[in-house]
Amino acid sequence: MTDNMILTTRELAKYLKLNEKTVIKMAQAGELPGFKVGNQWRFYLLTIDEYLQDKIVKQPARPASGIIESKSVDIPLSRLTNEAHIVLDLHSQEADGVLFELAEKARQAGIATSAENLLIQLKKREQMLSTAIGNGVAIPHPRNPSDEIFQRTGVIIGRSLKGVTFGAPDAKKVHLFFMICATDVIRHLNLLSKVAGLTSMQDILKEFLKAKTKEGIMRLLLESERARIISS
């Protein structure tokens, strides 16, 4: 699928794995951005992805299944990340340099098919709108996740002790990067929801900055998941 592709209600329903009638109701209620040609709804793929991603990041407490049914890909972050996916101290203090380090780590971990191609896709996404969400956190990801970019789904975690200017809405430097790597849009949105939930836990984020080892980062991930289960 291309960024400027126009989808019918049937195509969008298949894309989001929703009933076609549900898509029409959501469009009529203004819950999905679309436009009418005659009496038929049409949707820009790029606009749909932006809308859903923005909605999930701004409402991290809301499960992804509230927008799309994704129980089949509901996998804990700790199972999609390991010590080989973590960079304790990113060297670059420039945004593009950080994206390169994250892309190369994804290649080394056997997640990205090509660091170069992933880097291009990451830069395209940042040119549209920064993936920094404030409070020292960014969630870099490609515009259109696919198995052409990634061999498997996972999360790359990068930490910058000095911080990086990344166009954050609060103008603060970014210290923690959670790069989402997904082979399809359903897994992508599911992961985005999980990472957004994690980044809403300020105490855990502070501990991420203090962690001395990759093992410590993994332990914090497990603790955050246990905390969310208990509170739910």
What is the tens place of the pLDDT at every residue in 151-172? 999 999 999 999 999 999 899 9
In whole angstroms, give the CA distance from residue 144 to residue 154.
15
Q: What is the mean predicted confidence (pLDDT) over 161-186?
A: 93
Same domain, 94 and 181: yes
Residue ranges making up the domain that contains 30: 6-58
Phi-psi region of 125 (alpha: psi -120 to 50; beta: other; left: phi over 0): alpha
Does residue 28 surpass a pLDDT of 80?
yes
pLDDT for 52 beyond 80: no
Q: Model pTM?
A: 0.80
Beta strands 86-87 and 137-138, pairing class: unpaired
The CA-based diameter of the chain, rounded to the nearest angstrom, is: 60
| Across 214-218, average pLDDT | 97
State the total domains in the chain.
Answer: 2
| Distance separating alpha carbons of residues 183 and 176, to the nearest angstrom | 23
Q: Clarify whether residues 29 and 126 are in a common domain.
A: no
Cα 28–Cα 31–Cα 34 angle in degrees, nearest 5: 65
Residue 158 located in a structural domain: yes
- Is 146 found in the same domain as 37? no
State how far the Cα of 215 lies from the Cα of 82, in Å rounded to an integer. 9
Task: Tell me what the pLDDT averaged over the chain comes to.
Answer: 87
pLDDT reading at 110 higher than 90: yes
For residue 1, is it within any domain? Answer: no
Claim to verify: residue 22 and residue 111 sit in the same structural domain: no
> What confidence tier does 222 reach under pLDDT thresholds 50, 70, 90?
very high
Same domain, 28 and 141: no
Instruction: Give domain status of residue 170, yes or no.
Output: yes
- Whether 64 maps to a domain, the answer reads no
